[in-house]
Amino acid sequence: MSRFIRIDGAAPRDIYLRGKGVFDLSRLREKPVKGPKEGELLEEGKHPEQAGGEVPAETSVFHSDMEHIQEEMSGTAKTPDKETFDDEASAGIERELPHRRDNFKESLSEYREPVTLTIMHTNDLHGNLLPREDFTDFRNPDTKIKIGGGPAIATVIKEERRKAGEQGEHFLLVDSGDIAMGTSISGMFEGKPVIEVMNKEGYDAATIGNHDFDWGVPALNNMIQEADFPFLAANISDEYGKPLPDVQPFIIKDMPGLKVGIVGVANEETKSLNVRDDVRKLNFHDPIDSLKATIPEMKRQGADMIVVLSHTGLEKDREIAENVKGIDLIVGGHSHDTLSKPVKVGKTMIVQTGFGGRNIGKVQLKWDPNEKKVIAGDGHLIPIDADKINADTGIMGIIDKYKSKLDSIMNVKIGESKADMIQPHSGKETNLGNLITDLMREKTGADIAMLNSGNIRTNLFKGEIKFKDIYNILPFDSKIVTLNMMGSDIIDALEESSGRTEEDKTLQISGLKVVYDSSRPAGERLKEVRTPDGKILDPDRGYKVAATDYLVKGGDSYAEFTNGDEVEYNDEVMYETVAEQIRTMGIVGNNDLGRMEDLGMEV
């Protein structure tokens, strides 16, 4: 009896062949199995399981051993004599054997090992090129440490890049926006030192944060021109609907065995977060709509893996992950969330490092080129403890070049603080917010002063105060403005502030005592507003209010300020005004609180 049989009704060339030769399928008739029906051909390269059902392991056409496979691959496998074939099939089988052997070899050679990609990421650096003092716990003054800074971050990047290379991994370094605004060494040169440091560190891409527009569109364009890496934003267009010059929606990094698509999205609320006219002419589109339109094009251009650089905040990133298919990783920013481990939404990982270079993030993704998907992924944060990490001398050299130009101005002593003064946190009143709004009210002779918490960027520590300390606290080019506001608008603004959960969008105040209940629904939170003489704020009376030009133009969506009249601008930028007042006073600082009482927080 022939060792080889064909399925009834099949043509000779449709006999199922195994890699080492031709299968003896006669045993399959011994047991009823699911498979192709009589007259149904097996597709080339398929086995009976694929054709329609299961085959017992002992009779499966995949039941083979490595010895025969190795023989076939080496070409030493014994082929049956031609006479053993039945006449009808022999000619086709004889022609088919070499062809099937080649196909088998080719299928094995097509298998590719998974590829590991290491992504180091930063966000919201805000110009923090130098290490700074901060608290690990703002409630405990003994937890002060030195954190961040370009030299320490560069050392970590260099070490992680070296390890990835030794382990045969691909490596990317990316940032999710707000790179420059926030410190004197960056602000005095409109971000140029930050770009120079990022070039040296070897960034591959960045997206644009809302604060990257703070010096205006021309200054942003200058930073983009200086950068050795692309700025990405798929959801920004100019007033005519065209992309910004030299800003790309996405790039594709072509690596051996892997093409990584990187796309950027800016914050769609940027116009409400910026008062410059040239910025308000731009269009910031819904990032979800923009990504839905962009990612398919990236796929068409060959992107295997999709990485989104997003400056929209964690909650919006969650929404993006829920509504946009095909995203493997979102590197987030804007909300300053410190995610010690990635947040997983569906198949998408979301990461974020916090603020100011306190941490750098590391993500590792394993890509299977055979299944064409990410099969494993994880990430963590690396704390940047500047006292424990050696400073990179190359980065330090860049910083020193700019620092030497500033020292004569920035290191001038202007006063002394008797206490650690803390920037606003958790949306609450702080002693630093009280000091600054008191100085605003005193400077202008206003009845009331109000300042958005996001204007205050860092702490003021006990001891000597230098001009650079005030600049770093108030780095924006904001100006103090006075205006006449009706009591009803002031009440509405305070009601709005009392319900906000974003710590940088609440109001710091002077000249008022406010009682509210944050646990109540909108419109019912404010309980009482009194002036310093104990009188209830009159909703039908006008009050002279000191604020910033940012708030007066409706910044942070405080529309109540746009209703004011008799608007007068101070010519000095705010950090100059506050520094001069501290110089006059000599000594500042106390821990007096109690202007804002939240009944909802009481136990």
CATH for 488: 3.90.780.10
pLDDT of residue 111: 75
pLDDT of residue 416: 96
User: In the listed set 109, 136, 159, which residue is the last one of a domain according to the structure?
Assistant: 109
pLDDT of residue 139: 52
Residue 177 structure tokens: 């926006």
Euclidean distance between CA atoms 434 and 510, whole angstroms = 6
Residues 121 and 66 in one domain: no
Residues of the chain with pLDDT under 70: 1-109, 135-143, 426-427, 503, 602-603
Count of CB atoms within 10 A of residue 85's CB? 20
Euclidean distance between CA atoms 581 and 526, whole angstroms = 33
- Does some domain include residue 588? yes
Residues 270 and 195 in one domain: yes
Residues 83 and 160 in one domain: no
- Domain of residue 352, CATH code: 3.60.21.10
Residue 456 structure tokens: 């205050």
Residues 269 and 209 in one domain: yes
User: In the listed set 401, 428, 451, which residue is the last one of a domain according to the structure?
Assistant: 401
**Contacts (Cβ under 8 Å, ≥6 apart) of 220:** 208, 212, 213
Among 176, 159, 194, smallest CA distance to 121 is for 176
Residues 79 and 98 in one domain: yes
- Does some domain include residue 1? no
Residue 178 structure tokens: 């707000």
**From the CA atom positions of the chain, what is the Rg in Å?**
33
Tell me if 523 sits within 8 A of 444, measured CB to CB: no
Residues 497 and 556 in one domain: yes
Element spanning 416, H or E: strand 413-417
Residues 338 and 248 in one domain: yes
Residues 271 and 190 in one domain: yes
Residues 287 and 391 in one domain: yes
Residues 383 and 470 in one domain: no
> What are the backbone angles phi and psi of residue 312, rounded to the nearest 5°?
-115, -10
CA-to-CA dists, residue 388 to 137, 354, 385, angstroms? 19, 20, 6
- Does some domain include residue 502? yes
pLDDT of residue 144: 74
Residue range(s) defining the domain that contains residue 49? 12-109
Residues 446 and 541 in one domain: yes
Euclidean distance between CA atoms 209 and 37, whole angstroms = 63
- Does some domain include residue 6? no
Number of domains in the chain: 3
- Does some domain include residue 7? no
- Does some domain include residue 4? no
Residues 317 and 431 in one domain: no
User: In the listed set 80, 109, 138, which residue is the last one of a domain according to the structure?
Assistant: 109
pLDDT of residue 140: 58
The pTM assigned to this predicted structure is 0.71
CA-to-CA dists, residue 309 to 109, 254, 313, angstroms? 36, 18, 11
- Does some domain include residue 388? yes
Euclidean distance between CA atoms 324 and 533, whole angstroms = 55
Among 182, 168, 201, smallest CA distance to 384 is for 201
- Does some domain include residue 578? yes
pLDDT of residue 110: 72
pLDDT of residue 12: 34
